[in-house]
Structure 1
Amino acid sequence: MDVKQWITTQAQALGFADCGFLSVHHPLFAQQMQQLQLWLDKGYEGQLQFMHNNHHLRANPAELVEGAKTIISVRMDYLTQAPTPRAVTDNDLPNQGIIARYARGRDYHKTMRGRLKQLALKIESMLPEWQHLNIGSEQDFVFRPFSDSAPIFERPIADAAGLGWTGKHTLLINKQAGSFFVLGELFISLELPDDAPVTEHCGSCSACIDICPTQAIIAPYELNASACISYLTIEHDGTIDLKYRRAIGNRVFGCDDCQLICPWNRYANITPVEDFAPRNNLDKSSLLDLWQWQEADFMKNTQGSPLRRTGYVNFLRNIAIGLGNAPASQEVIEQLQSKLGVHSEMLDEHINWALSEQAEK
């Protein structure tokens, strides 16, 4: 327990809000495999084909890192500014291109893995002092950091390790910190005792289910990812179904609505990690500003940013939908027309949809 407390203190000094510990042989993994298969059988994964792969590694994380005994699960707060409690204020800015709050700064995956490596090296430096504890510290030290970068049950591990409970929107919620945080894992070869899960505190609240613009939260704790705006604007490649376009509104990368409305986020913390600070005005850019980015601008302005994931043409597709949903404007119509026939038939189809929405208004 002293070793765990020492590691937690070091983790917090590196900018992690908290960490929990779980054995690589925990029974959780077999249970999660059953739930994953049921979810896949319903077709909720959309184009997320990777969810069908490497099931043996998801079920047996010990095979992912040979010699690993314990998973250290960490969370890192990412808000740089406190949102208005229980208010989806993004809807009040119809001409602004809304980017999910985690994605406005540097790509957190790099930050997370870099700091987890630093944590591992700090642990390694203490091994001589822990040799009498019978936790494997006399063996060669093995470690590997992860952040959304391998077939790992990330959120269920954090849940089982006591970092929070799984909310009805399927994100992790922490009683002292809400849900505006990202997760990572450090696999290590030391054998440390498991932490215990915490009690869930959603009660009868259904705010996240009720607010979801596309009704992607089918039931409590059940998400149809293929209908979620985060999936549609980030992961989905190509044409976005007509039935979702008005609901997407002005969100051009991700969606925070289910978190913004959650009463627990009145306790959300401001991050001490500078990498989350918004870059290139991504917290306050208009749709038209973003629409005027050429591909070279996109590549320059998204260097080291999660926004790269969409690719330039899909990014324009998302902005075209936002412009179609924006208030009627002759300038918007002219700007939309300026990119017709320039990139792809898929983009043209979204531009034409946006033009018809503008004309109707």
Structure 2
Amino acid sequence: MAEDILKAARERALRLGFAAFRVTAPERVPDAGARLRQAIADGHHATMDWLPETADRRSDPRALWPEVRSVVMLGFNYGPETDPLALLERKDRASISVYSRNRDYHDILKGRLKEVAGLIARDTGAEVKVFVDTAPVMEKPLAASAGLGWQGKHTNLVSRDYGSWLFLGAVFSAADLPLDEPERDHCGSCRACLDICPTKAFPAPYRLDARRCISYLTIEHDGPIPHEFRKAMGNRIYGCDDCLAVCPWNKFAEVAAEQKLRARADLEAPDIADLLALNETAFRVRFCGSPVKRIGRDRFIRNVLIAAGNSAMEELAEQVRQHLADPSPMVRGAAVWALARLGGPDRIEDLAGRLPPDEKDEGVRDEWRRVTGRESADEIG
């Protein structure tokens, strides 16, 4: 009976576009909490304070919902059509992480998960709850214990069928459902994901220090990008795919499923010059429905200015210069750095001559000091 219920649910999930459907038990992730607490103790969560605040509930699904007896884990293939690493060489273009090149995946998956969950609830008579990365659920350890894949050395899930390109969703059920076998680790001696990281964000295999991760810096971090990481960011303006894209298991992703999330054409390789021109309204229109919208215009333009500074395209200098008067100190500071990067000593001297005498933000003043060696407009005069 339970097998028939799962068969029907799995068939519905596949018709809805899911690539993987497997079942685990909530008690199958006994080490996940300890690993999370160690990462928090080491400060690897950076400013993501919700991680320590929800650590106990994340550590065990039963702490989040005591009635859960089974966890159905589903995967949705979002593998890219082209190699995202190739875009890093196109300095006039900006790189947006593959997962963000379409509608917000939370919106895409939530309704489909609810449909699958509703079928399970109807046929079992047991309550269900649906989660898509918006609650304190450790989806990756649960997915590994269900057999969707294993957590690779880059800490993300790796599948033998879909590589590193799976969105994960969970259906918690109060029913006892037949369990699938977990997947073992197939990384072996490979360390491609660790070696390619431009900011050396992996202190050891299977451990990620968010403070050094470009995905964290461009999305979660509020304020100036630390100087030590700006050049390494290159043209990455929202997230970073390097450790995912280099995984050798990705070679199976293209043939494993017919349905996948496809990129919006205007987000595959956007022009940096076009992005620099976005005001608040234009930003909201351009990224309507996209997860990029959630970081806000100021963080976004900060990231684009870093990409402009790394582009070596002097023709961007005038657009960058306009952001020296931006209302946001975060944007003004990034503009100072970028403009200095786009020229030699003459450009820096010209930049120094434009220091606003009424600049009060200490962070912005520090950017001026770093590129000009001067404290104020009075010193320049």
Separation in structure 2 between the aligned mates of residue 160 and residue 76 of structure 1, nearest angstrom: 17
Larger Rg: 2
Deviation at 1:63, TM superposition (A): 4.1
User: Is structure 2 residue 343 aligned with structure 1 residue 346?
Assistant: no
8 Å Cα contact 1:98-1:253 kept in structure 2: yes
2:236 pairs with one of 238, 246, 251: 251
1:15 pairs with one of 14, 17, 20: 17
Task: Determine the structure 1 residue equivalent to 2:357.
Answer: none
Deviation at 1:280, TM superposition (A): 6.3
Provide the aligned length of Structure 1 versus Structure 2: 342
Deviation at 1:255, TM superposition (A): 0.8
Name the TM-score, length of structure 1 as normaliser: 0.90
Task: Determine the structure 2 residue equivalent to 1:132.
Answer: none
8 Å Cα contact 1:313-1:343 kept in structure 2: no
Deviation at 1:273, TM superposition (A): 5.2
Other structure's SS at 1:217 match: coil
Task: Determine the structure 2 residue equivalent to 1:62.
Answer: 62
Equivalent runs, 1:106-125 vs 2, <5 Å? 106-125=103-122
Other structure's SS at 2:324 match: coil
Separation in structure 2 between the aligned mates of residue 65 and residue 222 of structure 1, nearest angstrom: 28
8 Å Cα contact 1:82-1:269 kept in structure 2: no
Task: Determine the structure 1 residue equivalent to 2:341.
Answer: 357
Task: Determine the structure 2 residue equivalent to 1:147.
Answer: 132
Separation in structure 1 between the aligned mates of residue 284 and residue 58 of structure 2, nearest angstrom: 34
8 Å Cα contact 1:82-1:268 kept in structure 2: no
Task: Determine the structure 2 residue equivalent to 1:133.
Answer: none
Q: Deviations over 1:252-291 (max 9, x none)?
A: 00111112211111111377557x3333601121111111
Percent identity for Structure 1 against Structure 2: 36
Other structure's SS at 2:268 match: coil
User: Is structure 2 residue 207 aligned with structure 1 residue 187?
Assistant: no
2:93 pairs with one of 83, 93, 96: 96
Deviation at 1:122, TM superposition (A): 2.4
Question: Letter of the aligned partner of 1:119 in structure 2?
Answer: V
Alignment RMSD (CA, Å): 1.8
Equivalent runs, 1:28-177 vs 2, <5 Å? 28=29, 30-65=30-65, 67-83=67-83, 88-125=85-122, 127=123, 137=124, 139=125, 141-177=126-162
Deviation at 1:309, TM superposition (A): 2.0
Question: Letter of the aligned partner of 2:323 in structure 1?
Answer: K
Separation in structure 1 between the aligned mates of residue 118 and residue 129 of structure 2, nearest angstrom: 11
Other structure's SS at 1:75 match: strand
Equivalent runs, 1:208-227 vs 2, <5 Å? 208-227=193-212
Structure 1: runs of 5 or more not aligned? 128-136
1:269–1:188: structure 2 CA closer, same or farther, 3 Å change rule?
farther
Bigger relative contact order (CA 8 A; separation at least 6): 1
Separation in structure 1 between the aligned mates of residue 111 and residue 98 of structure 2, nearest angstrom: 21
Question: Letter of the aligned partner of 1:306 in structure 2?
Answer: P
Structure with the higher fraction of residues in helix conformation: 2
Structure 2: runs of 5 or more not aligned? 346-381
8 Å Cα contact 2:203-2:209 kept in structure 1: yes
Question: Letter of the aligned partner of 1:360 in structure 2?
Answer: G
